[in-house]
Amino acid sequence: MATSTAAPAAPATRIGRAAFEVDDRLIVAGPLRRTLNKVFPDHWSFLLGEIALYCFVILLLSGTYLTFFFDATMQEVIYEGGYAPLRGVEMSAAYESTLALSFDVRGGLLIRQIHHWAALLFVAAIVVHLLRIFFTGAFRRPRESNWLIGVGLLVLALLMGVTGYTLPDDLLSGTGLRIISAILLSIPVVGTWVHWAVFNGDFVGMDIIGRFYIVHVLILPAIVLGLIAVHLLVLVKQKHTQFPGAGRTEHNVVGNRLFPTFAGKATALFFIVFGVCAALGGLVQINPVWLWGPYNPAQVSAGSQPDWYIGFLDGSTRLFPAWDINLPGGYVIPALFWPTVVIAGAMFTVLALYPMIERKLTGDTASHHLLQRPRDVPVRTSIGAMALSFYIVLWISGGNDLIADKFDISLNAMTWFGRIGMILIPPIVYVLTYRICLGLERHDREVLEHGIETGVIRRLPSGEFIEVHQPLGPVDEHGHGQLAYGGASVPKKMNQVGGARRAIKGFFSPVEEPAAVQAEAEHEARGLEATEAARRELTGSGRPSEGGRPSEGGRPQEPRD
């Protein structure tokens, strides 16, 4: 028994003693060790969600800075600041303070542009992360809850974007606000009531900037922060998915421990994301509000564009035909209601419910922790590609006036392209994607059966020319490979199975001894250097794999193993 023996010796070092004092009070050593030991899969696509997370951190930091200078009121003032062309112009205090923090605050413009760029990147990272989750089947049981939270976060990110975009009260944001007002009015039955509740009266009133401000800087960020916390807790609890490969099963995670490898890489990614945002914020001008001027309901600039993530809604609104529905009693459902509220609502609802829909249709209710390659699930991949093509047609149509202008195409023709394209293109994309998936699947099977094309042409005694194929595993009496497809990438080039030696490191001159590299490779029994004598029980990753290396009849492995 522990208590019967001598007490543990006190830590010798200063840090050790400090750590002991902390743990004696808080008892954190156990949970901390469990956290540090958590294993993260080592694949680039798992970093996409992290990029979104880091963008959010950057948004919080830069946004807090902006609040020091921004005045969210619509009181009319006369501009007397540093930007000469607007001096003497009547404008709202919100617009005036935006100009002030751009021109009269040292570094204010940089932070404002970092904030805007980080917002664009935030939504982009969420969308790409969502696509990765979708196409690899990572949303399947037991991860439906995190999928729902993720879709919720996407919607909230869009709302944060819309409310933030409105705050400067320049001509562009005011035009966006006018369209928001029209969308609220278009809701059947309660539209005018909703509008009056949001705007505190008719458009535009004196309250909307102040209200959007508190929604943008407090309510939405608080909800997003809470949801991110739940998203990550569920992730830690359920552990990561992983791509199939040697030693990877439904019951484990293979990768790096959090400390120090993963923590180092994740911190590095944060700095790089921040660096990219800062460089964009400094070098690439975004939303130069001083050029648009203050909002005036009677003015608009041609080619007005929302931020990229709202473009699809702008597109659907442009494409939808002029179909008011007149009801008896003089009531009307405005045409604007369908492309903005109904189409957007339907898109996000189907997106949110997709895991449940797929579970119902396929009857697959089992838990999955191994990811699927998109080609192995052609129906889902094709549905995803179809939805994406629909989205892209809408998105392009959101800028159809710019395309018409730059390429000298008729604007009406662009509208008709969008109207027809949004119906015709998705099914075509579905069929194409389906065929491509099948083609890729078949090629995998072909390589498994016939081996890798070596590029070596041999002439047989009969005069026939054949290309020599390198089998990936044992072959039967007909020379056909006996390996089954394991859901992982199949090597298709000789170099991926050790057809070439590893390059000697060193840029100007070698920093390694070629002989030492050779000896190391022989020791590890890799590629060309592998000899019969060097056969081992373990694969390169050191773990007994299912059947050993491909040449021994095991499952194919990722090249890096």
Site residues for another protein, 351-410, by CB under 8 A, read 367, 369, 400-401
Stretch that binds another protein, among 34-42, 120-128, 217-225, 468-476 (CB under 8 A): 34-42
Backbone dihedral region for residue 283 (phi beyond 0: left; psi -120 to 50: alpha; all else: beta): alpha
Placement of tokens 């490191």 in the chain: 505
85: which 2 tokens? 């062309």
Looking at 265, 450, 502, 536, which residue binds another protein (CB under 8 A)? 265
Toward another protein, which CB reaches closer, 248 or 469? 248
Query: Which residue in the set 301, 349, 482, 495 belongs to the binding site for another protein (CB under 8 A)?
Result: 301
| 63 backbone dihedrals φ, ψ, rounded to 5° | -65, -40
Instruction: Tell me how far, at minimum, the Cβ of 391 lies from another protein, in Å.
Output: 18
Residue 434 beta carbon to another protein: minimum distance, rounded to whole angstroms: 33
CA dihedral 347, 350, 351, 352 (to 10 degrees): 120
Two tokens, residue 199: 């705007």
Contact 540/498 with Cβ under 8 angstroms?
A: no
CA–CA separation, 539 vs 436, rounded Å? Answer: 33
Q: Does 85 bind another protein (CB under 8 A)?
A: yes
According to CB under 8 A, which one of 148, 235, 253, 475 is a site residue for another protein?
253
- Nearer to another protein among residue 284 and residue 457 (C-beta): 284
Q: With respect to another protein, which residue has the nearer C-beta, 252 or 362?
A: 252
Q: Is 420 in the site for another protein (CB under 8 A)?
A: no
Residues in a beta bridge with 39 = 257
Of the candidate residues 298, 460, 503, 515, the single one contacting another protein (CB under 8 A): 298
Determine, following the binding rule CB under 8 A, whether residue 8 of this chain makes contact with another protein: yes
Which residues are CB-contacts of 118 (< 8 A; sequence separation ≥ 6)?
A: 55, 58, 59, 62, 277, 281
Q: How far is the CB of 436 from another protein (least distance, A)?
A: 33
Rounded distance, CA 518 to CA 439, Å?
A: 39
Please give the residues from 275 up to 294 whose contact with another protein meets the rule CB under 8 A: 275-283
Question: Considering the complex, what minimum distance in angstroms separates the CB of residue 211 from another protein?
Answer: 9
> Of the two residues 37 and 495, which places its CB atom closer to another protein in the complex?
37
Told to check if 547 binds another protein by CB under 8 A, we report no
Question: Angle at Cα 501 formed by Cα 498 and Cα 502, nearest 5°?
Answer: 105
Identity of the residue, 13 or 462, whose beta carbon is nearer to another protein in the bound complex = 13
CB nearer another protein, residue 78 or residue 272: 272
Contact stretch for another protein (CB under 8 A) within 109-117, 228-236, 421-429, 453-461: 109-117
Positions 490 through 519 that interact with another protein (CB under 8 A): 505-506, 511-512
**Interface pick for another protein out of 3, 365, 462, 531 (rule CB under 8 A):** 3
**Residue 467 binding another protein, by CB under 8 A:** no
For another protein, which is the closer residue by CB, 282 or 547? 282
Angle 48-67/263-283 helices, nearest 10 degrees? 50
Stretch that binds another protein, among 318-326, 341-349, 425-433, 527-535 (CB under 8 A): 318-326
Shortest gap between Cβ of 531 and another protein (angstroms)?
21
Cβ 106 to another protein shortest distance, Å = 6
Contact status: 470 vs another protein (CB under 8 A): no
Q: Among residue numbers 170 through 189, which ones bind another protein (CB under 8 A)? A: 175, 178-179, 181-183, 185-189
Residue in 69, 270, 348, 485 binding another protein, rule: CB under 8 A: 270
Rank residues 221 and 255 by Cβ distance to another protein and give the closer one. Answer: 255
334 contacts 365 by C-beta, under 8 angstroms: no
In whole angstroms, what is the distance from residue 434 CA to residue 429 CA?
Answer: 8
Q: Choose among 105, 108, 117, 129: nearest CA to 58.
A: 117
Tokens of 53: 């997370």
Site for another protein in 39-78 (CB under 8 A): 39
**Neighbour-count burial of 58, counting CB atoms closer than 10 A to its CB (0-12 exposed, 13-18 middle, 19+ buried):** buried
Q: Contact between 486 and another protein (CB under 8 A)?
A: no
Verify binding: residue 109, another protein, rule CB under 8 A.
yes
The residues pairing with 466 across neighbouring beta strands, listed in sequence order, are 458
Q: What is the size of the binding site for another protein (CB under 8 A)?
A: 126
How many residues are given for the chain? 561
Contact 108, 69 (CB under 8 A): yes
33 is an interface residue for another protein by CB under 8 A: yes
Our CB check for another protein shows the closer of 139 and 262 to be 262
Stretch that binds another protein, among 148-156, 320-328, 374-382, 463-471 (CB under 8 A): 320-328
Angle at 184 between CA 422 and CA 128, to 5 degrees: 45
Separation CA 240–CA 256 (nearest Å): 12
Inter-residue contact 200 to 207 (CB < 8 Å): yes
Residues 186-225, one symbol each (x = binds another protein by CB under 8 A, - = not), give xxxxxxxx-xxxx-xxxxx---------------------
> Is 534 an interacting residue with respect to another protein (CB under 8 A)?
no
Stretch that binds another protein, among 133-141, 297-305, 383-391, 471-479 (CB under 8 A): 297-305
CA distance 559 to 561: 5
**Binding to another protein by residue 256, rule CB under 8 A?**
yes
Q: Residue 297 class from Cβ within 10 Å (0-12 exposed, 13-18 middle, 19+ buried)?
A: exposed
**Which of 384, 402, 194, 204 is CA-nearest to residue 318?**
402
* Least separation in angstroms between CB 121 and another protein: 13
Q: Per-residue DSSP letters for 342-363? A: IHHHHHHHHHHHHHHHHHHHH-
Give CA–CA dist 489/537, Å, rounded.
23
Q: Provide the minimum distance between the beta carbon of 437 and another protein in the complex, in angstroms, as a whole number.
A: 29
Whole-angstrom distance, CA of residue 158 vs CA of residue 165: 10
Q: What is the DSSP letter of 175?
A: H
